[in-house]
Amino acid sequence: MKRLLSCYPSDYKMMTAEDLKNSIIASEGRTILAETVVTSPPLLEGVTNAEVMTAFGADLIVLNEFDVFEKEIIGMETTVNPIQQIKEWVGRPVGINLEPVDQAAFVHDEQVTLSAGRLVSEESLQEANKLGIDFIMLTGNPATGVSMDAIEKACKLTKEHYTGLVFAGKMHGAGLAEDIIDIEQLKNFITQGADGVLIPASGTAPGVTEEVAFTATKAIHHLGGIVISTIGTSQESADKDTIREIGLSNKRAGVDVHHIGDGDYGRMPAPENIMQLGLTVRGRRHTYFKMSQSLNR
Condensed to tens digits (0 to 9), the pLDDT of residues 52-62 reads: 999 999 999 99
Does residue 297 lie in a domain region?
Answer: no
| CATH of residue 70 | 3.20.20.60
Query: Is pLDDT of 144 > 90?
Result: no
- Position 135 in a domain: yes
| CA–CA dist 182, 172 (Å, integer) | 13
Q: Please check whether residue 94 lies inside any domain of the structure.
A: yes
Instruction: Answer whether residue 272 is part of any domain.
Output: yes
Distance, in Å, from the CA atom of 241 to the CA atom of 263, rounded to the nearest integer, reads 17
Number of domains the chain contains: 1
Exposed / middle / buried, residue 271 (Cβ in 10 Å: 0-12, 13-18, 19+): buried
Does the structure show a pLDDT above 90 at 104?
A: no
Tens digit of pLDDT for each residue in 32-41?
999 999 999 9
Residue 7: inside a domain: no
Please report whether residue 10 resides in a domain.
Answer: no
Q: Domain for residue 18, yes or no? A: no
User: What's the start-to-end Cα distance of the chain, in Å?
Assistant: 16
Q: What is the pLDDT of residue 38?
A: 97
Handedness of CA 21, 2, 9, 272 (dihedral sign): positive
Tens digit of pLDDT for each residue in 213-271? 999 999 999 999 999 999 999 999 999 999 999 999 999 999 999 999 999 999 999 99
Per-residue pLDDT of 71-97, as tens digits, reads 999 999 989 999 999 999 999 999 999
Domain assignment of residue 209, yes or no = yes
Rounded to 5°, angle at Cα 83 from 82 and 88? 95
Smallest Cα–Cα separation from 213: which of 176, 249, 167?
Answer: 249
Higher pLDDT, 274 or 111: 274
User: What distances in angstroms separate CA 209 from CA 23, 56, 201, 268, 293, one per listed residue?
Assistant: 28, 28, 8, 25, 36
The pTM for the full model equals: 0.95
CA angle 163, 164, 168 (to 5 degrees): 115
pLDDT of residue 87: 97
Q: Which residues form the domain of 186?
A: 23-292
Burial 281-296 (b: 16+ CB within 10 A, else e): bbeeebbeebbeeeee
